[in-house]
């Protein structure tokens, strides 16, 4: 008998007989709801508490703020999406600028060393965001691959205020994740990479970005 | 299965830990901090208790359908392009991983944190077969540099302070001696980044495996888990068969309780959900993803209605953070992969009670572990059950699934208790027995095994209670006016 069959067989023929599934009451999760203002405040408070930097910007002037931040953080090059509107707008706005625009336009194998050593920052959009935990929800894809939000030391994320949901549970259910089918990788990001493995002392940027900058467009 | 730490008996190890002021101080400080942080993460007791109810129900629901959910998980993962393997033992799982590595001609493996891989001693196994396995979680990396094992399931290097880590990194990697945690962390980042670039295979654990969608979920702060599962061309996830949950929505409350219970964080930096290898056209991610499902005694625990609760565990470590014993002796003194209360109820199954017989007794049964457990595992009750199992014989737990049942049973003890029972059933025998005991009370030895290691042996009274009561009623009868004084 294969290991698989042996294990399943033992589980099926339980000594103490079949088990009954208890009812799961999700009310404690689904009753968590806030209005739009509260959601935004809560999101900002939560994500700032884990060291992210949040800027509330308008839909019209967000690129000005981005330019300002890039200069302030002395970003020399910026990895941008090619198709997502955030990327298109960023590229158009920074064309004349000092910041070199980079594209993730080939498989990682072709430019691993370059990405790991020479990219200062990246910018991406998000799929949604979560107020309760201050989280960004991303489904990395061809245009905004997985390592784009992980390897560069600074990650700029652009969030629209109306993308805010109450809870992770609401995101899964209201966006129909199960019926839509899960992507290769789905991701929640809440703050920059961190560790407390040395005597409970927090340090940022241990493997991923040292800085997470969130631009909330209202 | 060997346990590399079991080089000496449990009690000497405990004694060593308890008399080490550095260990005492490091753990006390860390556990106090973790208890405070957890408390702050649950401002509403009502919300906490209701979420615990929900989480316990979710885990029990998953267990109640375990064989079906494992098959569903396998079917969905396979449809998504992930290869699923099954292993009865840790050694089998190691072999499966080695075979995948060999097939890919892999020489270096980079690892995200995985307690199951610790449990099966994967690093040793791979190294014995010429493959380098490098831990990338900072705490695990430190522990590996020190050639130790994790002392906590969430914070592997919690037993070391900054100075000790600085000295270790200086000695092993040539960094400067420094108390600057930022500097030490940045150095480790640099050292590990180079390794990530070159690694042939990434090995990770799994926090939740979702049957409904075929999704592997990983909870982490550092990003090493994401790197491990994205950069190398092959990703192998390894997990115990009990980690499966039924629906995707089930992970939301479990995640919320896991991070808050573990370290008091409302959420970790990353929650990484992987459902397939790199799809055509995608620019990163592994070309191959494997899942190794390990049994290693879990299906045995599954047989028993009471012991089943052990399998609800989501590995948050809150039980050890709140355990007065763990806080004083630290994680290594237990001598097993999983320390603290969860280790005490899990290791006897994984290693056998004959091997882990002292663990269920290493508790004051104060109940803190059960109170903080996010999935409401009645740990104290299970400790008592395993104590019973460890001395079981006759018809006690006859049909037991516990490996090594009766390991602590001593030849004389059952005889003594049999005699005791018989004596109490027969009045004459009882009076003769107790009468003789008082007459020969001078012969009671002062050394009565472990009990008298730190206590004085009890002395029997000159007369039995029956004799005293008899004398008293005679006195009362002789002088009815006089109140009977206690003797």
User: What CATH number is given to the structural domain containing A197?
Assistant: 3.40.50.10420
**What pLDDT score was predicted for residue B482?**
56
Number of domains in chain A: 1
Q: Which two tokens stand for residue B38?
A: 């957890």
What average pLDDT does the structure give for chain A? Answer: 96
Let me know if residue A5 belongs to a domain.
no
Partnered with residue B272 across adjacent β-strands are: A187, B218
Domain membership flag for residue A10: no
**Among all residues of chain B, which has the CA nearest to that of A113?**
B197
Q: Which of A50, A141, A198 sits opposite B165 (nearest CB)?
A: A198
pLDDT in tens, B378-427: 999 999 999 999 998 777 777 889 999 999 988 888 888 888 999 999 98
Beta-carbon contacts of A130 under 8 Å, excluding residues fewer than 6 positions away, are A43, A136, A137, A164, A165, A166, A167, A168, A171, A188
Average pLDDT over residues A134-146: 98
Q: Give the model's pLDDT for residue B485.
A: 47
Task: Please indicate whether, in this complex, the C-beta atoms of A25 and B57 are within 8 angstroms of each other.
Answer: yes
- Compute the distance between CA of residue A92 and CA of residue B122 in angstroms, rounded to an integer: 50
Name the residue of chain A whose CA is nearest to B140's CA. Answer: A197
Question: What range does the domain containing A136 cover?
Answer: 34-217
Residues B463 and B447: beta-carbon distance below 8 Å: no
CA pair distance B2, B185, nearest whole angstrom: 33
Instruction: Give the pLDDT of residue B7.
Output: 46
Is beta strand A194-195 parallel, antiparallel or unpaired with respect to A203-204? Answer: antiparallel
Q: Which residues of chain B have pLDDT under 50?
A: 1-7, 484-487
CA distance A142 to chain B (A): 5
A159 domain-assigned: yes
Chain A residues whose CB is inside 8 A of the B63 CB are 19
Q: Is residue A192 in some structural domain?
A: yes
Whether the pLDDT of residue A11 is over 70: the answer is yes
Phi, psi of A57 (to 5 degrees): -130, 165
Give the separation between CA B291 and CA B80, rounded to whole angstroms.
12
Residue in A103, A135, A183, A195 to test binding to B, most B beta-carbons within 10 Å: A195
Identify how many contiguous H helices and E strands chain B contains and give both numbers: 21, 10
B284 closest CB neighbour out of A10, A21, A147:
A147
Nearest CA in chain A to B289: A184
* DSSP letters spanning B332-375: GGG-SSS-HHHHHHHHHHHH-TTTSTTGGGS-----HHHHH-TT
CA dist., res. A104 & res. A123, Å (int): 11
A18 found inside a domain: no
The answer to the question of residue B459 being in a domain is yes
Collect all residues of chain A within an 8 Å Cβ-Cβ radius of residue B155: 196-197, 200
Q: How many beta-carbon pairs below 8 A join chains A and B?
A: 262
**Domain of residue B430, residue span:** 414-478
Beta-carbon contacts of residue B401 (< 8 Å; ≥ 6 apart) = A15, B300, B301, B303, B304, B307
Identity of the residue in B155, B253, B399 whose CB atom sits nearest the CB atom of A29: B253
List all residues of chain B from 4 to 63 with a beta carbon under 8 Å from chain A.
26, 29-30, 33, 47, 50-51, 53-54, 57-58, 60-61, 63
B311 domain-assigned: no
pLDDT on residue B8:
57
Mind telling me how many Å the CA of A19 is from chain B's nearest CA? 5
The tokens describing B72, both together, are 């569903």
Rounded to a whole number of angstroms, the distance from the CA of B368 to the nearest CA of chain A is 22
Can you give the pLDDT at residue B481?
Answer: 62
CA–CA distances in Å: residue B384 to residues B10, B359, B362: 19, 11, 11
Are the Cβ atoms of B274 and A184 closer than 8 angstroms?
Answer: yes
Q: Which of B278, B284, B304 sits opposite A15 (nearest CB)?
A: B304
Closest-CA distance, A204 to chain B, in angstroms, reads: 8
- What pLDDT score was predicted for residue B450? 79
Q: Point out the residue among A8, A105, A203 whose CB comes nearest to the CB of B67.
A: A8
**Sequence-ordered list of residues with C-beta below 8 angstroms from that of B440, at least 6 positions apart, any chain:** none
Answer yes or no: is B401 within a domain.
no
Tell me how close the Cα of B128 comes to any Cα of chain A, in angstroms.
24
Q: Which of A39-53, A91-105, B355-369 has the lowest mean pLDDT?
A: A91-105
| CB atoms B157 and A197 under 8 Å | yes
Is A161 domain-assigned?
yes
Q: How far is CA B308 from CA A151, B67, B293, B312, in A?
A: 42, 14, 18, 8
Does the residue B451 lie in any domain? yes
Mutate to test the interface with B, among A7, A14, A129 (most CBs of B within 10 A): A7
B439 within domain boundaries: yes
CA B64 to chain centre: 22
- Kindly state whether residue A40 falls inside one of the protein's structural domains: yes
* Position B433 in a domain: yes
Q: Does B120 touch chain A (CB under 8 A)?
A: no
In a domain, A2, yes or no: no
Contact residues on chain B for A145, CB-CB shorter than 8 A: 282-285
Token pair belonging to B404: 């090594």
Would you call A196 and B263 a contact, using CB atoms and an 8 Å cutoff?
yes
Structural domain total, chain B? 1
- As a whole number, mean pLDDT of residues A193-198 equals 93
User: Which residue, chain included where needed, has tokens 């009766």?
Assistant: B406
- Do B57 and A22 count as a contact with CB atoms less than 8 A apart? yes
Q: Is B158 within the bounds of a domain?
A: no
Contact A198 B270 (CB under 8 A): no
Nearest-CB residue to B270 (from A133, A189, A196): A189
Asked if the Cβ–Cβ distance from B67 to A23 is below 8 Å, we say no
Using a CB–CB cutoff of 8 Å, tell me whether B237 touches chain A: no
The reply to whether residue A22 touches residue B284, judged by beta carbons under 8 angstroms, is: no
- Tell whether B397 is covered by a domain: no
Residue of A nearest to B52 (CA): A28
Q: What pLDDT does residue B452 have?
A: 86
State pLDDT tens for residues B46-64: 999 999 999 999 999 999 9
User: Nearest CA to A173 among B57, B252, B47, B56?
Assistant: B252
Contact: B241, A7; criterion CB under 8 Å? yes
- At B454 the pLDDT is 84
Chain B residues near residue A104 by CB distance under 8 angstroms: 283
Tell me, yes or no, if B199 comes closer than 8 A to chain A by beta carbon.
Answer: no
List chain A residues with CB under 8 Å of B247.
Answer: 178
Nearest to A185 among B266, B274, B401 (CB): B274
């Amino acid at each position: 008998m294969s290991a698989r069959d042996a294990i399943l067989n033992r589980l099926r023929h339980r000594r103490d007989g079949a088990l009954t599934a208890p009812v799961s009451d999700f009310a404690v999760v689904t009753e968590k709801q806030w209005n739009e203002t509260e959601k935004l405040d809560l999101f900002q408070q939560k994500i700032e508490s884990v060291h992210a930097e949040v800027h509330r910007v308008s839909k019209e002037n967000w690129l000005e703020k981005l330019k300002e931040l890039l200069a302030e953080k002395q970003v020399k090059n910026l990895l941008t999406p090619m198709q997502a509107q955030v990327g298109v707008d960023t590229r158009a706005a920074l064309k004349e600028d000092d910041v070199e625009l980079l594209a993730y336009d080939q498989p990682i194998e072709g430019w691993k060393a370059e990405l790991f050593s020479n990219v200062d920052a990246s910018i991406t959009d998000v799929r949604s965001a979560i107020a309760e935990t201050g989280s960004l929800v991303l489904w990395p894809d061809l245009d905004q691959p997985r390592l784009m939000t992980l390897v560069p030391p600074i990650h700029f994320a652009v969030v629209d205020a109306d993308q805010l949901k109450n809870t992770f549970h609401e995101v899964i259910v209201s966006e129909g994740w199960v019926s839509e089918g899960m992507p290769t990788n789905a991701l929640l990001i809440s703050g920059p990479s961190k560790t407390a493995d040395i005597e409970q002392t927090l340090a940022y940027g241990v493997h991923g970005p040292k800085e997470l900058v969130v631009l909330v467009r209202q | 299965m060997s346990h590399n730490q079991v080089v000496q008996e449990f009690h000497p190890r405990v004694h060593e830990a308890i008399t080490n002021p550095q260990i005492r101080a490091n753990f006390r400080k860390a556990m106090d901090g973790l208890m405070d942080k957890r408390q702050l993460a649950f401002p509403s007791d009502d919300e906490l208790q209701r979420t615990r109810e929900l989480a316990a129900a979710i885990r029990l629901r998953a267990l109640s359908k375990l064989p079906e959910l494992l098959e569903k998980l396998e079917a969905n993962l396979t449809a998504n392009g992930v290869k699923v393997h099954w292993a009865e033992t840790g050694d089998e799982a190691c072999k499966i991983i080695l075979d995948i590595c060999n097939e890919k001609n892999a020489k270096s493996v980079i690892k995200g944190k995985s307690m199951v891989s610790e449990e099966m001693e994967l690093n040793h196994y791979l190294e014995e077969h010429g493959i380098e396995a490098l831990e990338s979680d900072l705490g695990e990396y430190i522990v590996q540099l020190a050639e130790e094992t994790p002392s906590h399931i969430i914070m592997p290097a919690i037993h070391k302070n900054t100075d000790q880590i600085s000295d270790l990194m200086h000695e092993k990697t040539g960094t400067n001696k420094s108390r600057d945690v930022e500097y030490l962390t940045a150095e480790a980042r640099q050292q590990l980044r180079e390794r990530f670039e070159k690694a042939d295979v990434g090995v990770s654990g799994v926090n939740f495996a979702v049957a409904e969608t075929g999704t592997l979920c990983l909870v982490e702060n550092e990003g090493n888990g994401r790197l491990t599962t994205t950069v190398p061309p092959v990703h192998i996830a390894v997990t115990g068969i009990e980690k499966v949950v039924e629906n995707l929505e089930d992970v939301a409350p479990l995640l919320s309780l896991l991070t808050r219970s573990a370290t008091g964080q409302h959420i970790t930096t990353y929650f990484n959900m992987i459902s397939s290898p790199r799809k055509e056209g995608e620019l990163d991610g592994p070309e191959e993803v494997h899942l190794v499902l390990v049994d290693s005694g879990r299906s045995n625990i599954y047989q028993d209605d009471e012991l089943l609760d052990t399998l609800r565990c989501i590995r948050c470590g809150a039980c050890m953070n709140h355990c007065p014993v763990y806080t004083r002796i630290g994680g290594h003194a237990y001598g097993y992969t999983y320390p603290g209360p969860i280790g005490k109820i899990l290791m006897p199954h994984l290693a056998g009670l004959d091997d882990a017989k002292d663990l269920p007794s290493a508790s004051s049964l104060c109940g803190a572990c059960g109170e903080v457990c996010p999935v409401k595992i009645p740990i104290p009750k299970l400790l008592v059950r395993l104590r019973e199992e460890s001395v079981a014989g006759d018809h006690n737990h006859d049909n037991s699934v516990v490996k090594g049942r009766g390991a602590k049973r001593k030849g004389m003890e059952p005889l003594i208790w049999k005699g005791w029972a018989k004596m109490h059933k027969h009045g004459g025998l009882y009076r003769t027995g107790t009468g003789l005991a008082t007459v020969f009370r001078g012969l009671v030895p002062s050394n009565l095994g472990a009990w008298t290691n730190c206590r004085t042996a009890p002395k029997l009274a000159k007369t039995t209670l029956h004799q005293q009561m008899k004398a008293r009623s005679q006195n009362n009868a002789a002088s009815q006016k006089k109140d009977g004084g206690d003797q």
